[in-house]
Amino acid sequence: MSPITIKKEDLARNRNTRGLPNLLETATNYPDTWEGGLWRPADINEIEMTASRALLSMAAKYRPRYLRNFYEYGRTNTIRKVDEPQAFIVSAGQPNTETISRFIEILMAQGMEVHHMTKELWVKMTPTAEFHEMPLGSFLVYVNQPQRSNVLSLFEKQVYPQRLLPNGDAEVPYDVAGWTLPMQMGVEYDAAWQIRDIDRDTPTIKRIENLDQARAIMNLGPSGGSFAKKPNPLKTNPKIGLYKGFTGSMDEGWTRLVLETFQIPFRSVSNEDMRSGNLDLDAIILPADSENTIVNGLKRRALSGRIFRRHRYCRSRKPQKICREWRKADLL
């Protein structure tokens, strides 16, 4: 990374960012404005070191207070609030048992307590609904547990608010995905606002101690390790290509993770493959990048700086595989 000079007028033209609408105005989360100048890797390092030292200093200075507050936070989370569900139930009998297994694994990895219903329970799915029978073999996640806030965050349906920019356009969400986890994964679940005869039936609700216990309940074999790769769900063997340009794409990386997690064979498709027609594939996946990024790539100014740094990198080291790839793609 090379030092760059940033002008004040460049900062003034910066697009509106949530929580930081103007880079030249102070804000609660931006108390000390910067009006441009030379920006170096050392400046980034200094910021990170300042934040790290501040965190360590605060933790050492106020250790008893942090520990007490953390304990109180967990204790109060075990007290039920009347305006929240008593639990969330993932009903038995769903066909996507491997997905449910991964869902439970995600919950337990974050410290959530998951239980197994060994008999039917009668629950109210809304505060005013009639009691409805939930089948034995279902999984139950109580809300009143130390991870209460996390349970609600992942299970409650999130609705994006009506946020508009000054020109009337909808404000783009910060994240590229929602966080209602069971909806993301296609797992059916219900809120249990009241469980009938819960005191009598509590002994029949057994806590899941490990993932393989939950998998055995769903007639699945052992997991094979923490977050093990999943079986390939495809019924055929298509030749799949995933476009991977040199601009760097977050969506390409996440798509690659999904394909690798489900052990779906694929190969990366480069710019050179596109130009030469080396596309003996049944399907090509294009990342969710703009047309300009895919067709035109980096701006000349950014590309020039990047090429300079690559030249310096390859000159200062023994021949590397990546250097050969850069030369082949005319990026050196």
pLDDT of residue 322: 66
**Residues 216-265 pLDDT 10s:** 999 999 998 899 988 898 999 999 999 998 777 889 999 999 999 999 99
Asked if 59 and 130 count as a contact pair (C-beta separation under 8 A), the reply is no
Rg of the chain taking only CA atoms, in angstroms:
26
Q: Closest by alpha carbon to 307, among 283, 281, 332?
A: 332
CA distance 77 to 108: 17
pLDDT of residue 278: 87
The CA distances from residue 149 to 114, 129, 244, in Å, are 15, 25, 38
pLDDT of residue 91: 96
CA distance 163 to 211: 40
**Residues 31-78 pLDDT 10s:** 888 899 999 989 999 999 999 999 999 999 999 999 999 999 999 999
CA distance 104 to 223: 12
Q: DSSP secondary-structure letter at 37?
A: E
Give the bridge partners for 268, in sequence order. 242
Residue whose tokens read 């049944």: 282
- Amino acid identity, residue 47? I
CA distance 114 to 106: 11
> Residue 8 phi/psi, 5° resolution?
-60, -40
State the helix-helix crossing angle for 321-328 and 300-315, rounded to 10 degrees.
140
pLDDT of residue 230: 86
pLDDT of residue 28: 83
pLDDT of residue 309: 64
Both structure tokens of 275: 């130009």
Contacts of 311 (CB under 8 A, 6+ apart): 332
Chain center to CA of 223: 22
pLDDT of residue 110: 94
CA distance 98 to 228: 11
Contacts of 180 (CB under 8 A, 6+ apart): 154, 155, 156, 157, 158
Signed CA dihedral, 250, 256, 260, 261: sign only: positive
How many Cβ atoms from other residues are within 10 Å of residue 24's Cβ? 14
Q: Give pLDDT < 50 ranges for the chain.
A: none
DSSP letters for 80-139: --TTS-SEEEE-TT-S-HHHHHHHHHHHHHTT---EEESS-EEEESSTTSPEEEE-TT-E
